[in-house]
Amino acid sequence: MNLHTINTGNFKLDGGAMFGVVPKTIWNKLNPADDNNLCNWAMRCLLIEEESRLILVDTGIGNKQDEKFFGHYYLNGNDNLNKSLEGLGFSKYDITDVFLTHLHFDHVGGAIIRTGEKLIPAFPNATYWSNEQHWNWAINPNEREKASFLKENILPLQESGKLSFIHSPSFDHNISIRFVHGHTESMMLPQIIYKERTIVFMADLLPSAAHIPLPYVMAYDMFPLTTLEEKKTFLAEAVENNYVLFFEHDAVNECCDLQLTEKGVRIKNTFKLKNL
């Protein structure tokens, strides 16, 4: 097995929304905001080479939305999904599986592309993986979350016939799935056995290293107290088992491991995945 970081570019989101009840005087030291109170965040995906499979975990925001939409998010950086794949010697045709942690636009937008008037899968030879509970939640969204579930990112997956649902916590003999429900219903975190370590793709349970302290829960989360309990359980397990955390949205820190301190669970080391 080989793991590769796939950088798809950065975007900006409101710092207060990203840190919930934590005061700006505290979080601004961790991820300084610009004059519009916006912080810069990565959209970092993961590529897994596993025997005959080439599995892409999440796809970033994509490029098919209009100028008005992208104007809200201030896309920046020189990376994009195809460029990152090509830099590793792969193309969109090589991807066998696209694993979607959840269907918010910054995670699934790159899964579908626009060709003329048509919306088609970006990876024509891939199976796209979600789960039935989350899929039903996304296509029948609540009023608070529906702005994150864009039909043009989601429905073409089903219409293409390439959508499959995961029904168990086992995805591959080296990849298991942790289901969490605080950020959104049935978000999936892949846990990968790699070089005798467990790598956990954190998605939006812990969007960045700055979110490790328990009260640092996003205002975007549907069920913040559930997130709090899920974080507490996960962090204790991660310390005990020396997990490596892979951050999707941290613009600075790609990976870390953890230690128990007087203040609770905190970062031990930060590093690049390629240095593991």
Q: What pLDDT digit, counting tens, does each position of 112-141 carry?
A: 999 998 999 999 999 999 999 999 999 999
Q: What pLDDT digit, counting tens, does each position of 63-100 carry?
A: 999 999 999 999 999 999 999 999 999 999 999 999 99
Residues 6 or more apart whose CB falls under 8 angstroms from that of 99 comprise 55, 56, 57, 58, 129, 171, 188, 190
What's the confidence (pLDDT) of residue 193?
97
Tell me how far apart the alpha carbons of residues 128 and 16 are, in angstroms, rounded to a whole number: 33
Average pLDDT, the chain: 97
Q: What pLDDT digit, counting tens, does each position of 103-120 carry?
A: 999 999 999 999 998 999
Is the pLDDT confidence value at 235 over 90? yes
Fold for the domain defined by 2-275: Metallo-beta-lactamase; Chain A (3.60.15)
The number of beta carbons lying within 10 Å of the beta carbon of residue 71 is 10
Is the pLDDT confidence value at 177 over 90? yes
What's the confidence (pLDDT) of residue 51?
87
Q: Helices (DSSP H) in the chain: which residue ranges?
A: 15-19, 24-27, 67-71, 81-87, 105-108, 132-139, 151-159, 224-241
Q: What pLDDT digit, counting tens, does each position of 184-201 carry?
A: 999 999 999 999 999 999
Is the pLDDT confidence value at 159 over 90? yes
Locate the domains of the chain by residue range.
Answer: 2-275
What's the confidence (pLDDT) of residue 272?
98
What's the confidence (pLDDT) of residue 260?
96
| Among 175, 235, 244, CA closest to 1 | 175
Give DSSP secondary structure letters for 139-170: HS--TTTGGG--HHHHHHHHHTT-EEE--SSE
pTM for this entry: 0.97
Burial of 171 (0-12, 13-18, 19+ CB in 10 A): buried
Q: Are 239 and 259 in contact (CB under 8 A)?
A: yes
- Rg of the chain in Å (alpha carbons): 18
Q: Which two tokens stand for residue 93?
A: 């045709």
What's the confidence (pLDDT) of residue 257?
98
Is the pLDDT confidence value at 173 over 90? no
Is the pLDDT confidence value at 180 over 90? yes
Q: Which two tokens stand for residue 136?
A: 């039903």
With a pLDDT cut of 90, the percent of the chain lying above it is 98
| Among 269, 246, 259, 184, CA closest to 3 | 246
Reported as a pLDDT band with limits 50, 70 and 90, residue 202 is very high
What's the confidence (pLDDT) of residue 67?
93
Average pLDDT value for residue range 52-60: 97
Reported as a pLDDT band with limits 50, 70 and 90, residue 229 is very high
Q: What is the DSSP letter of 266?
A: E
